[in-house]
Each structure stands twice: as structure tokens, then as C-alpha cells.
């Protein structure tokens, strides 16, 4: 992940008070930031998308989604963007949030839906149509999803929470997990659009985070295997209880 993503300027742009009510989409992730900026300008008057987008792998975008139990992320796949592994990107991203994909008509929408997207929309559709579809998707999610509390459990000691954003997002992903995470999926999720994190770099992050947690009686669940490692979450933390409507 680039150093610029650790800047407080980007941190302040992720969560804006009142933005949840103004925009049906909580976070826009992009595979081509320049093209997505043009899309956001075109859609600005409809007030369905945030003012800023975040590149794939942005820790601030992931932290924002993890703190929104019923969040919705729009993954923008412009023409000319890197399209390899779109289905896999959707599958890993859906572990954090409901995913709407905006893509060219040439993308296999059925495959993307099978991967876990809640909707796939044509990127060249009229702005008004896209706005209505996005707003309708948000209404459906609010109608169909139960009202839940924060997915990230409270940590028993404030010193457990790392100051380094790459460590913090890894911790919160593992805290909020409802399923095991394969190391290859985490490498894709935490990397940039063009380059996943290497397994060696991920392992180093996990070791550093694990050493910090062990001082407070917490550990990372690890299932080593041939060719891959599976992380089953954080042990020693009591999750929040869900709330019904």
C-alpha cells in the first residue's frame, strides 16, 4: 500500500458526519482513479455517491466499511482498467460489505453476481438511471438486512489497537471475520490494484500483530497448510451482540 494512504488527509475523507444519510453508497473503490473521478463529477448532482473515491487496497476505505454493519461499497471497473480477477476481488470484498459493481457491458455480469456482488450495473448507463438503481439497491439492503451493531468487537485494552494503519486494518478484518481468511485472499485485498501483497509481507504483518496481541492475552487463529495459510480470526475477544429491530 502506498504511503500516501496513511495520511490523515485521507483518513478524514472516509467518514464524514451525515454522509451516510446523504449518500446511499458508503465507499467508492476504483481500479482506475482518474476514470472514476470523471464518473463522480458526472454523478455529483444526483447525490448517490461520495465526493471521493479510494483505490483498491485503501486501508481507510476498508476501516470505514468495517465500522458500518450494513455498508455498501461500489466497485468501479472503468474501461481500460485492470480486469483480471474481478470475480475474486468481488468475493473477498464481499467479506467486508455489500458490493455493487459498476462495469463495462463486456464484463460477465453473471460471473460477478455468482462471486457475491449484490448488483452489477452498466457503466455507460445514463446518470439518472444509475442514480435510481443505486438508491433502489440501498433501499433493498435496508429492508432485507437486520439492524446490527458494529461488527468489530471492542478490544479489551486500548494499547492493543496499533497506530500503524496497515496493522490496524488487518486487526479489524480478523476481529470482524465471520469466516476464515485464506492468505491469498488477504494478499489480494490488502494489495494495490496492480500488485497484491506478497505472502512473505503478509506473514510479517501477522507476526508483528500477533506479538502485540500476545502481551494482552489475545492471539490470532492460524491454520497452516501446504501452499496456503488460513486465518480464523482473533481469539480472546467477546464479540458484540447483534440488535434486532
pLDDT value at position 13? 38
Highest mean pLDDT among 18-22, 142-146, 164-168, 237-241: 164-168
pLDDT value at position 7? 42
Question: What percent of the chain has pLDDT above 70?
Answer: 80
What tens digit of pLDDT does each residue of 59-111 get? Answer: 999 999 998 878 899 999 998 776 678 999 999 999 999 999 999 999 999 99
Identical fold for domains 3-144 and 158-235, yes or no, is: no
The total of other beta-carbon atoms located within 10 Å of residue 132's CB is 14
* CATH topology for the 158-235 domain: Arc Repressor Mutant, subunit A (1.10.10)
Given a cut of 60, whether residue 239 has pLDDT beyond it is no
* CATH topology for the 3-144 domain: Rossmann fold (3.40.50)
Distance in angstroms (rounded) separating the CA atoms of residues 95 and 100: 13
Burial of 96 from C-beta contacts in 10 A (0-12 / 13-18 / 19+): buried
What tens digit of pLDDT does each residue of 101-155 get? Answer: 999 999 999 999 999 999 999 999 999 999 999 999 999 988 876 555 455 555 5
pLDDT value at position 113? 97
pLDDT value at position 151? 53
Domain ranges of the chain: 3-144, 158-235
Distance in angstroms (rounded) separating the CA atoms of residues 94 and 74: 11
Q: In the structure grid, which three cell numbers stand for residue 19, read together?
A: 454522509
Amino acid at each position: 500500500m502506498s504511503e500516501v494512504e496513511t495520511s490523515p488527509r485521507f483518513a478524514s475523507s472516509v467518514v464524514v458526519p451525515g454522509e451516510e444519510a446523504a449518500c446511499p453508497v458508503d465507499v467508492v473503490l476504483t481500479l482506475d482513479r482518474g476514470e472514476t473521478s470523471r464518473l463522480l463529477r458526472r454523478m455529483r448532482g444526483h447525490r448517490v455517491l461520495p465526493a471521493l473515491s479510494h483505490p483498491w487496497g485503501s486501508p481507510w476505505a476498508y476501516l470505514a466499511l468495517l465500522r458500518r454493519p450494513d455498508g455498501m461499497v461500489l466497485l468501479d471497473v472503468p474501461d481500460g482498467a485492470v480486469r483480471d480477477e474481478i470475480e475474486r476481488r468481488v468475493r473477498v470484498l464481499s467479506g467486508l460489505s455489500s458490493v455493487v459493481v459498476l462495469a463495462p457491458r463486456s464484463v460477465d455480469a453473471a460471473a460477478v453476481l455468482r462471486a457475491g456482488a449484490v448488483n452489477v450495473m452498466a457503466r455507460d448507463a445514463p446518470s439518472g438511471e444509475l442514480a435510481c438503481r443505486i438508491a433502489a439497491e440501498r433501499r433493498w439492503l435496508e429492508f432485507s438486512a437486520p439492524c446490527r451493531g458494529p461488527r468489530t468487537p471492542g478490544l479489551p485494552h486500548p494499547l492493543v489497537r496499533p497506530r500503524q494503519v496497515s496493522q490496524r486494518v488487518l486487526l479489524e478484518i480478523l476481529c470482524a471475520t465471520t469466516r476464515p481468511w485464506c492468505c491469498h485472499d488477504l494478499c489480494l485485498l490488502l494489495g494495490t490494484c496492480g500488485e497484491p501483497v506478497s505472502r512473505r509481507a503478509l506473514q510479517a504483518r501477522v507476526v508483528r500483530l500477533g506479538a502485540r496481541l500476545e502481551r494482552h492475552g489475545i492471539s490470532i487463529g492460524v491454520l497452516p497448510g501446504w501452499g496456503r495459510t488460513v486465518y480464523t480470526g482473533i481469539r480472546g475477544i467477546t464479540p458484540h451482540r447483534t440488535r434486532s429491530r
